[in-house]
Copies of this chain bind each other. A is one copy, B any other.
Amino acid sequence: MKNFTKFENKTTAEKLIQQAMHYKENPWIDKAKGQGKRIGCIFLNPSMRTRASTQIAAQQLGMDAIVMNMDKEGWALEMRDGVVMNKGTIEHIKDAAAVLGTYFDILAIRAFPSLTNKQEDVEDFVFNQFIKYSGKPVISLESAIRHPLQSLADMVTIQENWNKEIKPKVVLTWAPHIKAIPHAVANSFSEWALGCGHDLTITHPEGYELDEAFTKGAKIELNQAKALEDADFVYVKNWSAFNDYGKIITTDHSWMLKEKHLKKSKNAKVMHCLPVRRNLELSDEILDGPRSLVTQQAKNRIYAAQAVISQILG
């Protein structure tokens, strides 16, 4: 595995899931594997959970991790080719990525979408510039369109909570939010759930259709109640519109998941990538009740990252 930026295939995914579960049992078993190796964690956008879980994963493999918060440290990067840099940007991505490539064995990069320039976002422009110019393996810590480490952790969590032969019914439901939120978590969850063979239904208010590149094969059901029937896992997430790009079309509170929505899915477990806005996206009663897997998902971020780094180390 050279880069980890998306779902590759079922075999690779299953191997990573097994490896993550193995590390969860034995966090320090490969502590010599990364010795003398360095991972650079480059944040163009803020992070707490992702930063900590990646650092921890690296430490458990014996690696040194160095964090660079480019967003906070005022290191505005120029992305456009050929431009005269006489404005606010102080370094070109070409030069920054090339230098980081000489400093680190692996780069882990977070680069959110603009939510205004649809084409650049869909092409994952910023993220791909890093891959192009660094010359080193790159791990996505969430790009404009995908958040594969989250999805890997989510797949691990589903596996830990499912012991039947048949695949579970997984529902991805849109939830209200007050801000325009990226599609990355929803896209990746769909991509991974489908790739892993789960029976995926996606439900959302009209106008919130996700990019079909990620949802092909999922059942789209705009009636939330119908979608939730007999669900085994319900993944709650807000995203902004994709067609009317980056817009908030509705904040309809009736879409917020409550116990009453789950009457016809008694055993459904509820998932969210965190941070979650309580009583806006998801109700206290669910988050504080026995259905919630959110803390377990967050913990699994460590082992997902550890499995991925380990695979890249080879």
> Residues of A at under 8 Å CB distance from B?
27-28, 36, 38, 40, 46-49, 52-53, 55-56, 59, 64, 66, 68-70, 72-75, 78, 81-86, 89-92, 94-96, 98-99, 102-103, 178, 274-280, 284, 287-288, 294-295, 298-299, 302
Q: Take A99-B274, A295-B102, A302-B103 as given contacts and tell me if A85 and B279 are in contact as well, using a CB distance cutoff of 8 Å.
A: yes
Contacts of A92 in B (CB 8 A): 276, 278
Contacts of A46 in B (CB 8 A): 73-75
Q: How far is the CA of A47 from the CA of B91 in the complex (A)?
A: 12
Give 8 CB contacts A-B under 8 Å: A27-B36, A28-B36, A48-B70, A55-B66, A85-B280, A86-B280, A91-B274, A94-B287
Other than the known A52-B66, A55-B66, A103-B302, what 14 A-B pairs have Cβ atoms closer than 8 Å?
Answer: A46-B75, A47-B73, A48-B70, A56-B66, A69-B73, A72-B72, A75-B275, A82-B279, A84-B280, A86-B277, A91-B275, A95-B276, A98-B295, A99-B274
B52 near A287: Cβ-Cβ < 8 Å: no
Contacts of A274 in B (CB 8 A): 91, 95, 99
